[in-house]
Copies of this chain bind each other. A is one copy, B any other.
Amino acid sequence: MPEFLELLPPLQALAQLLEHLPVHPALEEIDTAQAGGRVTAVPVTAPHPLPSFPRATVDGYAVRARDTYGASDTLPAYLGVLAEISMGAEPGFSLAPAQCALIHTGGMLPAGADAVVMVEHTQSARPGEVEVLRAVASGENVLKVGEDVLAGEQVVPAGVRMRPAEIGGLMALGITKIQVSRRPRVGIISSGDELVPPEEMLGAGQVRDVNAYTLSSLVDAAGGLAVRYGIVSDQEQALRDVASRALVECDVVVITAGSSASTRDLTSQVVDNLGKPGVLVHGVNVRPGKPTILAVCQGKAVIGLPGNPVSALVIAWLFVIPVVEALLGLRHAPPRPSTQARLTLNLPSQAGREDWIPVRLLSSAGGYQAEPVFGKSNLIFSLARADGLVCIPADATGLEAGEQVEVYLF
């Protein structure tokens, strides 16, 4: 295992991990209707144009545009009304010169028609006839065939996280099944002799396992599939056995170490022995979360998180989510949800280190204010009391009260 004298900044540490991580997402076919949040595994192309027929975008009369040229309030064009076009049906006729047909928004234009006159620009004349008071250009108030998508057009690339709009678009094309990336399995191991499962009563000196549950929830929301391996004691053999099993059964292994130096070293040792290339990053220039371990073993990501629940959650947000997204094949990841706010207090920071500070959002007349929530990083409720995180970049020595900051909703 190499010596790590210099701590890497988080983004660089992540890049180093991703560089060594082979990505070949497995596919599965699912119902498009259930695909919200899933990531497309292959590009989707349109089997036919959309719309598939010329459609009216207004209520009015389908016309031959040239029949309306020069029409005005004082000199209307008189057109014979051939029929009313039923919604969802093919007009069984075509327009001859000086003919029109009553049409509703979304209706299909008959052959011969190339525009629609809005009903507001017409008035009734004799039965079977209408006065057109305004000229329309060819194509006016009409959706052309293929105006939304063309036949054969790529409508959703691979690597896109499906939103309602994509689901709707595919449904419009009759694509009711799609190929998505299988959710990467993320094995979660909690180590620490002081840990007991949440359902147990606490003995003196014991704490309940928090990280397995915060991480599971985070991983599942990011599109992974959390697999909890329970609590392992701080013994090398025990940790190695569980970690090896998780490495076989999962795509990513996350170990939350005990927080003492000795158990951190133990974790690092066990991880490094899981396979090549082993530990790539040991220690990241970030607070909280400095003792983070990033490794690739046998082609799979292994991440050692600090045991403190706040550190573990922040570091998982910085490293585990991007790994899950990479394994999903996600491209064009949308920006992390955030909102703008003004800091209520000065936040000093050590230059050269990236800091992530929990803040609470307060509504005020001029928009949100961000109030830092102070608390040692072992206090999980300091995150529960916060709405998001503010980043103090490594090149800053702090942020000033009143400064506009981006609050990442957490």
Interface residues of A, Cβ cutoff 8 Å to B: 32-33, 36-37, 48, 50-53, 55, 57, 59, 86-91, 104-108, 119, 143, 147-149, 155-156, 163-169, 171-176, 192-196, 198-211, 213-218, 220-221, 234, 258-263, 307, 309, 313, 334-335, 337-340, 361, 368, 375-376, 378-384, 386-387, 406, 409-410
* CB atoms of B221 and A37 under 8 A apart: yes
Q: Distance (Å) between the CB of A268 and the closest chain B CB?
A: 16
Apart from A53-B205, A86-B193, list 16 A-B contacts with CB within 8 A. A50-B379, A57-B376, A59-B262, A87-B234, A89-B205, A105-B258, A106-B192, A106-B207, A163-B410, A164-B213, A164-B214, A165-B313, A168-B380, A172-B210, A174-B201, A176-B198
Q: Is the CB of B340 within 8 A of A172?
A: no
In the complex, chain B residues whose CB is within 8 Å of the CB of A87 = 192-194, 205, 234, 258, 260
Pick the contact of A217 from B167, B198, B213, B221 — CB < 8 Å? B167
Task: Write 6 A-B pairs (CB below 8 A) sorted by A numbering.
Answer: A50-B379, A57-B376, A106-B207, A148-B379, A148-B380, A171-B214
A384–B169 CB distance below 8 A = yes
User: Which chain B positions have C-beta within 8 A of A387?
Assistant: 334
A260: nearest residue on chain B (CB-CB)?
B104
* 6 closest A-B pairs by CB: A337-B337, A90-B204, A88-B194, A104-B260, A165-B383, A168-B214
B88 x A155 contact (CB < 8 A): no
Q: Is the CB of B105 within 8 A of A214?
A: no
Whether B163 and A217, one on each chain, are in contact in the complex, defined by CB atoms closer than 8 angstroms, is yes
Question: Are the C-beta atoms of A52 and B202 separated by less than 8 Å?
Answer: yes
CA distance A217 to B169 in the complex (A): 13
Min CB gap A124→B, angstroms = 16
Q: In the bound complex, what is the Cα–Cα distance between A214 and B192 (angstroms)?
A: 45
Q: Are A378 and B258 in contact (CB under 8 A)?
A: no
Q: In the complex, what distance in Å separates the CA atom of A206 from the CA atom of B106?
A: 9
Nearest chain B residue, comparing its CB with the CB of A173: B208
Least CB distance from A386 to B in Å reads: 7
Q: Knowing A174-B201, A384-B156 are in contact, say whether A217-B164 is a contact too (CB < 8 A).
A: yes
Interface centre among A37, A205, A262, by most chain B C-beta atoms within 10 angstroms, is A205
A304 to B190, CA, bound (A): 50
- What chain B residues lie within 8 Å of A199 (beta carbons)? 174, 176
Q: Is the CB of B313 within 8 A of A335?
A: no
A172 & B207 in contact (Cβ 8 Å cutoff)? yes
> A119 to chain B: closest CB distance in Å?
8
Are A194 and B258 interface neighbours, CB within 8 A?
Answer: no
In the complex, chain B residues whose CB is within 8 Å of the CB of A409 = 334-335, 337
Cβ distance A235 to chain B, nearest Cβ, rounded Å: 12
Name the contact of A215 in the complex, choosing from B32, B164, B207, B334 (C-beta under 8 A).
B164
Residue in B88, B221, B261 whose beta carbon sits within 8 Å of that of A36 in the complex: B221
Residues on B with C-beta less than 8 A from A206 are: 88
A259 to chain B, nearest CB (A): 4
Q: A32-B213, A88-B193 are in contact. Are A384 and B171 (CB under 8 A)?
A: no
Contacting pair A104 B262 (CB below 8 A): yes
Nearest residue, chain B, Cβ from A165: B383
> Do A55 and B169 have beta carbons less than 8 Å apart?
no
